[in-house]
Structures are given as structure tokens and as C-alpha cells.
Amino acid sequence: MDHLRTSATVIGALVPCQAADDAAADASPFDEIYDTYAPLLRRIAVSRFGIATSDAADLVHDVFATYLINPKRVEELRAYLIGAICNASRSYLRKSNARNEVCSGVDICEIAGDTSVHERVMREVLIGQILARLGRSCRDALHRFYILGESAAAIAERRNTTPGYIGRLLHFCRKRAFDAYHAVQKGKR
């Protein structure tokens, strides 16, 4: 609230001295507007959207800062402020929900120092980049052989071919994966 009042004071300093003296004689119109509507806006953010009180206060400050930039474009003040706090609250919740989905409710500080999580993510990204460079047939064969643990004979039976062909295919796919790995590593440098 202090920074908004400070902003109003700075704007007041831009007005000619006579007008500033007149404004100082009676309360600032911005202060009156803020004191009138800020409690309502905080209550809307907290009760209707379930936002924490401290975060709601920040949203209210943002709404008034936006209003303060160009108050002449606002035709109906109350409707503007209520609409603005609703939009700001929805935006806050979208960002908050997205952040929560990414973190899956895990305490960020808890995993920040864990290098195994970082290494696992980096390994999975690298594997994804390598597999993206291979064809569908190679991805499927490598997945079935290494991930699902199917034998070359089982893969051959599924594809209506011989185990010897699957052996050659796996050899070819491993070579392509190895080449893709080196290409990805060169791209990082």
C-alpha cells in the first residue's frame, strides 16, 4: 500500500505546484479510492478464489497499480476494480496450479540437492533425443528387447520374420542409436 501511495505522490509531484498544494489540502482522491475498495477486493480474492491473504494483498496492489497508470480509460470504477481482481485471481490460480502440477506436490527444497533426480531427468531427456532420431521400427525393436525384455525370437514371431533378421535389426538400431548419441553430444558443445 505504501508503494502505491508513493506512486500517487510522485504523480502528484508532476502536477503544477498550485494544483499540488490544493490536492494536499484535502485527501488524495487515489487514497480515498484505495481505502474504499481495497478491503472489498481483498475479500473477493480470499473468499471467492481461496487465495492466501498475503497474496491477495499483492493482487490488490497490482490491480490499483494498473488502474493508476491510466485512470481516464475506466468508465465505471467499481466494475473495473472487481473485474480486474477476478481476472488477477484467476491468472494467479492458473499459474499456481501449473506450478503445483509440475512439482507434483513435492517440496522443491527437498529435491533441490538430490543429484540423482537431476541425473535421471537428464538421462531421460538424452534417451528421448536419441530415440527421436531413430525410425519407428528401431524404436519398437529396442523397446521390446531392452525395456520389455522380449527375446529376438519373440520379436521375430510378432513381426512374422526370422530371429536372425531381428538380430541384424537390433545390431543396426544399436549402431544408429550410438551415432545419434554422438550427434547429440556434439550439438551440446
Decide which of 147 and 87 is more confident.
87
* Residues 6, 72 within the same domain: yes
* Residues 69, 43 within the same domain: yes
Separation of alpha carbons 99 and 138, rounded Å: 36
Read off the pLDDT of each residue in 22-51 and give the average, rounded to a whole number: 82
pTM of the model: 0.43
User: Band of the pLDDT at 28, cuts 50, 70, 90?
Assistant: confident
Tell which of 55, 71, 103 closes a domain: 103
Please check the confidence at residue 120 and state whether its pLDDT lies above 90: no
For the chain, what's the residue count? 189
* Residues 58, 126 within the same domain: no
Q: For 176, list phi and psi in degrees, rounded to 5.
A: -65, -40
Tell which of 63, 79, 103 closes a domain: 103
* Residues 85, 117 within the same domain: no
CATH number for the domain spanning 162: value is 1.10.10.10
pLDDT at 187: 74
Separation of alpha carbons 63 and 56, rounded Å: 10
Residues 166/158, Cβ–Cβ less than 8 Å: no
* Residues 152, 174 within the same domain: yes
* Residues 11, 45 within the same domain: yes
* Residues 36, 119 within the same domain: no
* Residues 7, 99 within the same domain: yes
* Residues 164, 133 within the same domain: yes
pLDDT at 38: 92
Question: Grid coordinates standing for 31?
Answer: 487514497
pLDDT at 85: 93
* Residues 82, 46 within the same domain: yes
DSSP-assigned states of every residue in the chain: -HHHHHHHHHHHHHS-HHHHHHHHHS--HHHHHHHHHHHHHHHIIIIIH---HHHHHHHHHHHHHHHHH-GGG-SSHHHHHHHHHHHHHHHHHHHHHHHHHHHTT--HHHHHT-HHHHHHHHHHHHHHHHHHHS-HHHHHHHIIIIIS---HHHHHHHHTS-HHHHHHHHHHHHHHHHHHHHHHHHHH-
Read off the pLDDT of each residue in 170-181 and give the average, rounded to a whole number: 89
Separation of alpha carbons 131 and 140, rounded Å: 10
* Residues 94, 54 within the same domain: yes
pLDDT one-digit tens code per residue, 43-75: 999 999 999 988 999 999 999 888 888 888 889
What is the number of domains present in the chain? 2
Lowest pLDDT segment from 1-5, 29-33, 35-39, 111-115: 1-5
* Residues 35, 76 within the same domain: yes
Decide which of 99 and 109 is more confident.
99
| Domain that includes residue 126, residue range | 111-188
Tell which of 76, 103, 130 closes a domain: 103
Please check the confidence at residue 20 and state whether its pLDDT lies above 70: no
Question: Grid coordinates standing for 186?
Answer: 556434439
